[in-house]
């Protein structure tokens, strides 16, 4: 399995005890996200709403690619890949 | 014994701890810096609860044994996955013995029988026959007040903004609207006893059938458990407002009037707490210590609480905390300026 580094924004890091980076092991991107939520189940409500979709102002980047742009999350991951939770802050 | 106040704001929570006389205070925080903190509660097992919300990250419930270190509750109140309802904020946490209730936006009531670890929807209210006609007001569509009868825990009142007050007499299985005598804000004939914009309700500590109601349309009292409501506004500068509370030791009622639903500001900038010593039949300005200078700020519905021994505590939308230790004879504005205050709660700590 590959080792994937997950980065979290400051607000979520607070509820993770101040941890901004965690490591998950998985074979695929989908597996990495699943492992992240299995290891840290408190994150789920913050990333996904009741419809099961990712919250509108949350972006999850796989390396430099927004996973919304992928046709499927079932892609293999490699050691050193990054998964970044980004908060899309807008407004003046 | 001193008092610990938990203050929830648009940007974090703050703790204010007093000395025994409740005159000198210290500030701790912020906790959950950057998060909106909507309410607090006691779990009944010695731990404390706190609810956060965020425009980006949704709402969650957290637990602490010392008000310092917090752990998120994974299985907090939540609407079913795959449904249309979104839980955006938890506005009230109410304990009755070993049972906890959470009132939320989008409007609904949840119950926990394990000190807040897991929660179940109260379908009798959440799927009420009038549900399809519930519409949000300016503050959302929120179940924001839960009052469990101190004389009979099977009798519960829930206030839902822009909808009205509901009562159950069977522990939550069935619910009936209780708004007779109150003027609607949504005046459509086809609505079946809903469309009332209740802002706050509180039960009288001396008479279980008596409740007080700060409503969009004014201030009301019921002497029969909500079957009928009458106006109690004599002496108030204005009838509009958000919070209402009653001190158990004195029976004294408190409100903070605001000029009209359009303006929502103290009349002529005169920020005043009003009190009543006769169950709302008459009101007067509560003691001394109000700001001399024009003060255009408000107190939201969750931002006033009492320690039930003459201590009344309120937080303003301008971030000021105002206290009295003598049931409103003298008020003191504490020196700190916090973010916009959403909730003030006397904690058991």
CB contact under 8 A, B81 and A14: no
Residue A54 within any structural domain of the chain: yes
What CATH number is given to the structural domain containing A50?
Answer: 3.10.20.30
Task: Report d(CA B257, CA B280) in Å as an integer.
Answer: 13
Instruction: Report pLDDT for B342.
Output: 98
Question: Which residues in chain A have their CB less than 8 angstroms from residue B62's CB?
Answer: 15
- Summary mean pLDDT of chain B: 96
Residue A38 within any structural domain of the chain: yes
- Residue pair B24/B13 in contact by the 8 Å Cβ criterion: no
Given phi > 0 = left and psi -120 to 50 = alpha, else beta, which region is B93? beta
Tell me the pairing of strands A82-87 and A2-7.
Answer: parallel
Write the DSSP string, B169-185.
SSTTSS-EE--TTPPPS
Q: Which of residues 28-57 of A touch B (CB under 8 A)?
A: 41-42, 44-47, 49-52, 55, 57
Q: What number of C-beta contacts closer than 8 Å exist between A and B? A: 58
- Residue pair B36/B62 in contact by the 8 Å Cβ criterion: no
Question: Which residues in chain A have their CB less than 8 angstroms from residue B80's CB?
Answer: 50
Instruction: Report pLDDT for B261.
Output: 85
Could you tell me if A91 lies within 8 Å of chain B, comparing CB atoms? no
Mean pLDDT confidence for A58-75:
92
Task: Report d(CA B307, CA B348) in Å as an integer.
Answer: 10
Task: Report d(CA B230, CA B180) in Å as an integer.
Answer: 9
Task: Report d(CA B13, CA B29) in Å as an integer.
Answer: 7
CB contact under 8 A, A50 and B76: no
Residue A57 within any structural domain of the chain: yes
Collapsing DSSP to helix, strand or coil, A46 comes out as helix
Could you tell me if B76 lies within 8 Å of chain A, comparing CB atoms? yes
- Summary mean pLDDT of chain A: 93
- Residue pair B252/B235 in contact by the 8 Å Cβ criterion: no
Residue A8 within any structural domain of the chain: yes
Residue A28 within any structural domain of the chain: yes
Tell me whether residue B4 is exposed, middle or buried, using C-beta atoms within 10 angstroms of its C-beta: 0 to 12, 13 to 18, 19 or more: middle
Tokens 């249309």 belong to which residue? B84
Percent pLDDT > 90 in chain B is 92
Instruction: Report pLDDT for B157.
Output: 98
Question: Which residues in chain A have their CB less than 8 angstroms from residue B84's CB?
Answer: 51
For residue B31, the chain A residue with the least C-alpha distance is A14
Residue B71, CB half-sphere, CA atoms under 13 Å: how many?
11
Tell me the pairing of strands A58-62 and B284-285.
Answer: unpaired
Closest to B57 (Cβ–Cβ): which among A12, A51, A52? A12
CB contact under 8 A, B80 and A11: no
pLDDT band, residue B1 (cuts 50/70/90): confident
Instruction: Give the phi and the psi of residue B101 in degrees, each rounded to 5.
Output: -125, 140
pLDDT band, residue B188 (cuts 50/70/90): low
Could you tell me if B54 lies within 8 Å of chain A, comparing CB atoms? yes
Q: Could you tell me the fold of the domain covering B243-349?
A: Thrombin, subunit H (2.40.10)
For residue B87, the chain A residue with the least C-alpha distance is A50
CB contact under 8 A, B56 and A11: yes
Question: Which residues in chain A have their CB less than 8 angstroms from residue B126's CB?
Answer: none
Closest to B57 (Cβ–Cβ): which among A11, A41, A52? A11
B44-66 pLDDT tens trace = 999 999 999 999 999 999 999 99
Tokens 């609505």 belong to which residue? B191
For residue A53, the chain B residue with the least C-alpha distance is B82
The more confidently predicted of residues A16 and B107 is B107
Mean pLDDT confidence for B323-343:
98
The domain containing residue A25 runs over which residues? 2-87
Residue A92 within any structural domain of the chain: no
Mean pLDDT confidence for B22-29:
97
Instruction: Report pLDDT for A17.
Output: 84
Instruction: Give the number of other Cβ atoms within 10 Å of residue A52's Cβ.
Output: 8
Question: Which residues in chain B have their CB less than 8 angstroms from residue A91's CB?
Answer: none
- Residue pair B41/B349 in contact by the 8 Å Cβ criterion: no
For residue A42, the chain B residue with the least C-alpha distance is B74
Mean pLDDT confidence for A37-61:
94
Q: Total domain count for chain A?
A: 1
Task: Locate the DSSP E strands across B79-163.
Answer: 89-96, 99-105, 108-112, 120-121, 143-148, 156-160
- For residue B297, what is the DSSP state? -
Measure CA of the first residue to CA of the last residue in chain A; give whole Å. 43
Collapsing DSSP to helix, strand or coil, B130 comes out as coil
| Cα dihedral across residues B89, B68, A86, A81: positive or negative | negative
For residue B88, the chain A residue with the least C-alpha distance is A49
């Amino acid at each position: 399995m590959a080792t994937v580094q997950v980065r979290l924004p400051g607000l979520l890091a607070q509820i993770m005890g101040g941890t901004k980076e965690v490591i998950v092991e998985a074979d695929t991107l989908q597996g990495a996200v699943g492992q992240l939520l299995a290891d840290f189940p408190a994150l789920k409500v913050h990333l996904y709403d009741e419809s099961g979709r990712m919250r509108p102002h949350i972006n999850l980047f796989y390396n430099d690619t927004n996973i919304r742009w992928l046709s499927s999350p079932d892609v293999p991951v490699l050691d050193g890949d990054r998964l970044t939770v980004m908060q899309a802050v807008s407004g003046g | 014994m001193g008092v610990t106040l938990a203050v929830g704001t648009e940007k974090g929570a703050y703790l204010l701890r007093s000395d025994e006389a409740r005159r000198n205070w210290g500030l701790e925080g912020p906790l959950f810096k950057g998060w909106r903190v909507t309410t607090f509660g006691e779990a009944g097992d010695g731990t404390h609860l706190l609810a956060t919300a965020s425009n980006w990250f949704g709402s969650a419930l957290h637990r602490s044994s010392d008000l310092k270190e917090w752990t998120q509750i994974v299985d907090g109140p939540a609407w079913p996955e795959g449904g249309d309802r979104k839980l955006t904020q938890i506005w009230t946490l109410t304990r009755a013995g070993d049972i906890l209730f959470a009132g939320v936006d989008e409007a609904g009531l949840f119950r926990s029988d394990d000190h807040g670890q897991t929660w179940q929807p109260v379908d009798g209210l959440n799927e009420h026959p009038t549900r399809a006609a519930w519409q949000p007001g300016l503050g959302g569509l929120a179940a924001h007040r839960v009052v469990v009868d101190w004389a009979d825990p099977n009798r519960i009142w829930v206030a839902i903004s822009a909808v009205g007050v509901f009562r159950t007499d069977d522990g939550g299985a069935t619910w009936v609207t209780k708004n007779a005598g109150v003027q609607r804000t949504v005046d459509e004939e086809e609505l079946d006893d809903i469309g009332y914009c209740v802002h706050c309700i509180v039960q009288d500590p001396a008479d279980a059938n008596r409740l007080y109601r700060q409503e969009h349309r004014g201030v009301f009292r019921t002497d029969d458990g909500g079957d009928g409501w009458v106006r109690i506004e004599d002496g108030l500068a204005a009838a509009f407002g958000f919070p209402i509370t009653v001190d158990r030791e004195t029976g004294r009622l408190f409100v903070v009037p605001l000029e009209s639903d359009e303006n929502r500001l103290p009349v002529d900038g005169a920020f005043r707490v009003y009190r009543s010593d006769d169950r709302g039949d008459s009101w007067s300005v509560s003691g001394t210590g109000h700001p001399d200078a024009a003060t255009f700020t408000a107190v939201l519905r969750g931002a006033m609480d009492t320690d039930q021994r003459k201590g009344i505590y309120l937080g303003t939308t301008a971030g000021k905390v105002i206290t009295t230790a003598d049931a409103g004879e003298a008020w003191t504005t504490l020196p700190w300026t916090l973010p916009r205050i959403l909730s003030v709660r006397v904690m058991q700590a």
